[in-house]
Homo-oligomer: A and B are copies of this chain.
């Protein structure tokens, strides 16, 4: 938790305060003086006696005790200053603007650590260094402009980049989005995005806290903390949108398995956000649009009424909503007929509800009332109302304002005439409303919001597995790929259904096994990793003679140590994989096998622990899901059983986190049963 003194200080010192507001130390002092801070402000500057009309101390030693220190001096002077503040001034909150620490070189890193050690020793909190500071309801401790409109119901914004925070605030101001707090974490020496989120979670108050959190993240240092507190906040009724920049740089790593090639850290980020219920955004504009949607009431369904006085934007919005899986349902009833009669001739109420260029405020009010009270099929309204510039539209926007306040269904205003009725839009915004200037950006963002699933609140019971036996195998194994016999045992203990199989080193044992299984059988090479690439899989062996010949072929392959024999089975090829993804834990992937993963990359991923319900959702989100359901003359596969196996694999890697990569590829699935035909497991112990 962040120290309470940092959040709500009674006194603040600016170290490096200046009369020059073009410097960070000068500008932050001006910001503090100009805005709403109610406590004491001290300035420190060895060269001044008065700065911006307040008394200036030449030496930090001379100031009284102080809750928060905002430090804007060269890096080399910071440690000494902090020692004094910590030891003599009872300071608990620190904001260090200065650059030249861990982002610069190793020496800077050491200095940064020394500062953290000092602050940790007294239980203090540090934001930065190399940040722009902190804005909240109590004070504006940043050296940048503009200071956004502050409102306890506005968004809490945590940013891993100071400049990006400024640009987002600037872009948000024109739309009316307000802020409750802005945290810039800079180098995250002590406090990163995750820790601020943790703080917001632990101090969350249902009545006074903001319900919307925005994150701009460049690196996730503690994914589990992020997941925990994002999930917790969302379960408490909050909404979170986040940009995780750097999604492309990770790329696809060279890896020795399918799962390895399919999973990467960006997929892990996706999976984390999905599990928590965070809406993932990719740009500033999108983040602001999603945040603005969050500031409205939640939709209870996907049916949208579009109310407009201009056809074009309504058509484009209809397209965008449809593409994003939302509906603009036709409205056709006695009630809609009654509404039509209250509008000018030529209007349309079938949705979009078009009340023409001549439509007025009174008509808008009537339409909204119908959508709110009479059209039960409607879940939300979008009102598009601009102006060709002939007259003012204050009355229309006043109706809109009033209805947004009073209606239970959310009303989203799209006011595109940012030039013609700029004054009206500014006035509308000044009353606490938000404008979405572009209908298509809005439609795309609304789709994202509606399709983001909330985290499952109750941890479902997982199938128990033979943990002790699994641990014994893992502890007795070395790094690298496990032998087929070990793989078989692990899957057995994890209760994964497997095709019957035997590993043989002689032709005789192989023949014996085949007789027991019954022909036809399959032979596979043991040794080489990519069996099919070396011709190490021989299918549909129907006789003893063919078996003997095939055995010889396989044992001649380079690296072959033995032969694996299985009965020849039929079914749809499926795939399940797991991969350890650094600090994120394990990713579990599923999909159809063969070309579906190799060519079409049609897989779904989730972070462990994966419940059966999550697994079912993964399966149903596959592009090739129709094949699992069954198409035309081909029966599908038992998706519940598929989901259970996914859950069991999740349980397995949770018990055996040393599993770096695991492939069940393929499993064969029918409408009755699913079993693994081939499996590989790679162990990586630290």
CB of A51 within 8 Å of the partner chain: no
CB of A313 within 8 Å of the partner chain: yes
7 extra interchain contacts, Cβ-Cβ under 8 A, other than A169-B419, A171-B418, A248-B318? A161-B311, A163-B311, A246-B318, A532-B633, A533-B632, A598-B626, A598-B631
CB of A286 within 8 Å of the partner chain: yes
Contacting A170 at CB < 8 Å: which of B249, B286, B346, B420?
B420
CB of A243 within 8 Å of the partner chain: yes
B595 touches A312 (CB 8 A): no
A-B contact pairs, 17 of them (CB 8 A): A23-B390, A24-B390, A145-B419, A160-B312, A163-B357, A167-B313, A167-B386, A169-B419, A174-B418, A247-B323, A249-B315, A282-B316, A283-B438, A533-B632, A595-B627, A599-B624, A599-B626
Q: Interface residue count for A (Cβ, 8 Å)?
A: 81
Q: Which of A224-260 contact B (CB under 8 A)?
A: 243, 245-249
A440 and chain B: residue at smallest CB distance: B283
The residues of B that contact A167 with a CB separation of less than 8 Å are: 310, 312-313, 386, 416-417
CB of A284 within 8 Å of the partner chain: yes
CB of A121 within 8 Å of the partner chain: no
Min distance, Cβ A163 to any Cβ of chain B, angstroms: 3
- Given A386-B163, A419-B173, A632-B533, A283:B103 Cβ within 8 A: no
B319 touches A22 (CB 8 A): no
Q: How many copies does the complex hold?
A: 2
Contacting A319 at CB < 8 Å: which of B27, B173, B246, B627?
B246
Contact digits for A260-285, partner B, Cβ 8 Å, 1 yes 0 no: 00000000000000000000001111
The residues of B that contact A245 with a CB separation of less than 8 Å are: 312, 315-316, 319
A420 touches B166 (CB 8 A): yes
A310 and chain B: residue at smallest CB distance: B163
Min distance, Cβ A464 to any Cβ of chain B, angstroms: 37
A245 to B443: give the CA distance in the assembly, Å: 14
Contacting A285 at CB < 8 Å: which of B104, B166, B311, B441?
B441
CB of A216 within 8 Å of the partner chain: yes
A316 touches B132 (CB 8 A): no
Q: Which of A96-141 contact B (CB under 8 A)?
A: 99, 103-104, 132
Contacting A389 at CB < 8 Å: which of B103, B146, B624?
B146
A230 to B313: give the CA distance in the assembly, Å: 24
A632 and chain B: residue at smallest CB distance: B532
- Given A23-B390, A27-B390, A218:B312 Cβ within 8 A: yes
A316 touches B170 (CB 8 A): no
The residues of B that contact A169 with a CB separation of less than 8 Å are: 419
A147 and chain B: residue at smallest CB distance: B389
A577 to B318: give the CA distance in the assembly, Å: 30
Min distance, Cβ A658 to any Cβ of chain B, angstroms: 31
B600 touches A416 (CB 8 A): no
A626 to B599: give the CA distance in the assembly, Å: 6
B282 touches A315 (CB 8 A): no
A599 to B624: give the CA distance in the assembly, Å: 7
A438 to B143: give the CA distance in the assembly, Å: 23
The residues of B that contact A104 with a CB separation of less than 8 Å are: 345-346
The residues of B that contact A419 with a CB separation of less than 8 Å are: 145-146, 169-170, 173
A311 to B173: give the CA distance in the assembly, Å: 22
